[in-house]
Amino acid sequence: MSKKFIRQKEQREKRRVARERVETLFTLAERVFPYEPELANRYVEIALAVQQKAKIRMPRKWKRRYCKRCHSFLVPGKNARVRLKSRPYPHVVVKCLNCGHIMRYPYLREKKERRAGKV
């Protein structure tokens, strides 16, 4: 085995571990949010640090569950307002009620992906 190949293998393994950690941290955040929202936010911070360090993509499942500005864990109906808008293009508007930051996500793509069973 070449050194390069071993290095690539290590990289893959690191990213796999990082993905698992991100998943665990967000799952924990969701669980503790109802009674300890501050702890949930802390988990988000750690998950973001792990994600950035390993240079992995944020899993689709959790991508919209935190505020891009203040990094709060977001729960629709609790600390996030979610609205569907059709103009100028179909999109979802998520507003963080902690800092007021507004995030927009195109909706058509999401619908297509959901139909394909990806979401």
Residue closer to Zn ion, measured from CB, 19 or 101: 101
Phi, psi for 93 (deg, rounded to 5): -110, 120
Q: Is the dihedral of CA 27, 28, 32, 38 positive or negative?
A: negative
Contacting residue, 67, 80, 94, 103, with Zn ion by CB under 5 A: 67
Q: Is 96 in the site for Zn ion (CB under 5 A)?
A: yes
Token digits of residue 67: 């505020």
70 touches Zn ion (CB under 5 A)? yes
Token pair of 65, please? 């569950």
Does position 98 bind Zn ion by CB under 5 A? yes
Instruction: Report the 10 Å Cβ neighbour count for 77.
Output: 8
20 or 38: CB nearest Zn ion: 38
For position 101 contacting Zn ion by CB under 5 A, the verdict is: yes
Residues lying near Zn ion in the complex (CB under 5 A) are found at 67, 69-70, 72, 96, 98-99, 101
